[in-house]
Amino acid sequence: MMRQYQLVERVKRYNPNTDETLLNKAYIYALRAHGSQRRASGDPFFAHPLEVAAILTDLRLDDATIIAAVLHDTIEDTEATLEEINQIFNPEIGALVDGLTKIKRLDLVSKRAAQGENFRKLLLAISADVRVLLVKLADRLHNMRTLEFMPMEKRPRISEETLEIYAPLAGRMGMQEMRAELEDLSFRHLRPEAYQTITQRLNDLSEKSEKLVEEIERILTSLLAAKGLAAEVKGRRKRPYSIWKKMERKSVAFEQLSDIFGFRIIVDDLDACYRALGVVHMTWPMVPGRYKDYISTPKQNDYRSIHTTVVGPGKQRVELQIRTRAMDEVAEYGIAAHALYKEGADIARFVSESRAYQWLRRTIDLLAEGDNPEEFLEHTKLELFHDQVFCFTPKGRLIALPRGATPIDFAYAVHTDVGNTAVGCKINGRMSPLLTELANGDEVEIVRAANQTPPAAWESLVATGKARAAIRRATRTAVRRQYAGLGAQILSRAFERAGKAYSEEKIAAALPRLARGSTEDVMAAVGRGEIYSGDVVRAVYPDYSDDRRPSTSPRAAGDEAAVKIQPLFGPGEEQAIPIRGQGQDLPIRFAPEGGAVPGDRIVGIIDPGEGITIYPIQATALAAFDNEPERWVDVRWDSEAIGSQRFPARLSLQSINEPGTLAQIAQVIADHDANIDNIAMRRTTPDFTDLTVDLAVWDLKNLNGIIAELRGKRVIAKVERVTG
């Protein structure tokens, strides 16, 4: 275990002005707080925070960060309190330690929710001070280095969490060395056999290729020196996890990989980067499609470098990275290498110049949208994992997106309102589908329309967490609006039956009695069946007595949370709610057995919390609701809203077994411009087969025409419509 003086010496190596007294005080405080606690390895627990602090001294971080690392487990695992740390040290250190303390005693329904909530708190703390992230990553790195001491059943879960969250997060912050080590440690525990195999092959190949690597280093150094360029050339080999991932992604064997070894050319200034690139390309041919300039267009994690692949000595492919020394430091250590932050510069200036930190703040903006912990974790993983493409608005604004992103993602990256109102797009001046995969350099113009709502299906098609969250919210808002509209109509009729005046102002005055925050909340609750309409009338008019209040339905018997729905209209009344089909995100669906088509007389059945199911009036399934009149809704077709869409219907047929029978049935349906959605067949006797055919037809006339023609076919013994 590291001694007290050793910790001070490690900090003094890069910071001669360190506060030795405060460092010593932190060491002693944490040592006493952890006392006799032991880690799974049997080592004193206090050894862990010291190793975390040691990792951070290698990153040359300030006193407050090192002290926070020493103290980071005290609040969570000892009797220490935040108030005590603030008092003994200072609020700055206290805030860092608090940001690293996991949430305890939360009533969360799943480990995934707990993981999401802890990650939410961590990111909120990082948004206030990025040093929280540096300590957390160092903490995870040391835990992964000692994971073999944990119980075998826990290792996969911890490794998976590291691979899914912490390694990508380190990469997004530009800390490539830490990301690579976290990935390899996770890979070693998740796929031990693959890890051992690839590591052994790498070691064998390194021995065979040692002379070739040295030769390429020597040749590159000589070439650049001949052109007056002082450069440091370093050969390196890829990490086991990086190789395995490429083998999986491209479905290739280890022997087929041509870029296991790469070379880094480090020069003094920006001009020398492009001069070195010219020397290399004039000496060896470039491999097409393998040139990337991340200097002119940096990655979101502040990474800057030129990448190119050439066919070098011995016809070997040589992968090169060309960068300055300052770029190399940022590439290795990311935000931990940021000079502005180390110098204690104003945080606003740091944020404005650090693209990595800007990305982090944008990600944290998702928190304000009210997603639950699982959704937040899902969205953040989407943001962490993907490589990037860079696209432009017509005005030249650069938009960075994950690979595989579409114009829908682009629209939401510009602004949520742009995404919500998007109806089309132009890519490089040409009209294109909204689901087109974007490529580097595309100029994207979004075509918008007022009063547009994003289809719910977009949620499964987008690549960014921001777009997915926004679409989910818009869908919820649209459904809520529809429930509120339905509730308003239910209440209007309920007040009319009661002979009472109805207005939103009167309902607003009764909100405390209804335990709702707004009139829209009340109407949506009525529409969903959560509040009985008669209760709303009684809340507004306490002297009202409702003798029509329905009894508990058989389905809800014994369930305290059961809801009771007021019938929309009294017997004989002709008012109705228009039905607008299935394409408008309405809480309306058709009966699963047989459906309904325009021309049918229809009725709606309210399913509390789910919406309205539409049945044809002759459906036998309606008998099940005879004792629940409060769930019946008189509905009609809205001919203007139907438009060019088909509706579900089901036929039951008995056919003669002979060749071509099914073809004749299909031909009749096709001739009437209908569509077959599904067919089920069952042979009942050697001579006959029963068929159930699910169709999509235009209307009742269309359906009756199909039935009439089928009945005229010699091969059809019987055909009937199924109405449920």
User: Which tokens go with 377?
Assistant: 């974790």
User: Residue 682: CB partners within 8 Å, gap ≥ 6?
Assistant: 689, 690, 691
Q: Which of 403, 395, 402, 387 is nearest to 444 (CA)?
A: 395
Half-sphere exposure of 68 (CA within 13 A, CB side): 28
User: Which tokens go with 571?
Assistant: 């017997």
Is 77 an annotated catalytic residue?
yes
Q: Indicate the Cα dihedral angle 463, 464, 466, 470, nearest 10°.
A: 0
Q: Which of 9, 43, 77, 445 is catalytic?
A: 77
Q: Which of 76, 269, 417, 720 is catalytic?
A: 76
| Angle 550-552-553 from CA coordinates, rounded to 5° | 100
Write phi, then psi, for 56 (nearest 5 degrees): -75, -30
Write phi, then psi, for 360 (nearest 5 degrees): -60, -45
User: Residue 376: CB partners within 8 Å, gap ≥ 6?
Assistant: 116, 119, 120, 366, 367
Query: 3-state DSSP call for residue 627?
Result: coil
Q: Tokens 């040592």 correspond to what residue? A: 31
Write phi, then psi, for 432 (nearest 5 degrees): -140, 160
User: Residue 638: CB partners within 8 Å, gap ≥ 6?
Assistant: 578, 579, 580
Q: Is 182 left (phi over 0), alpha (psi -120 to 50) or beta?
A: alpha
Query: 3-state DSSP call for residue 455?
Result: coil
Query: 3-state DSSP call for residue 291?
Result: coil
Distances (CA, A) of 199 to 194, 205, 211, 454, 692: 8, 10, 20, 48, 59
Is 690 an annotated catalytic residue?
no
d(CA 249, CA 314): 28
**Catalytic positions, written as ranges:** 76-77
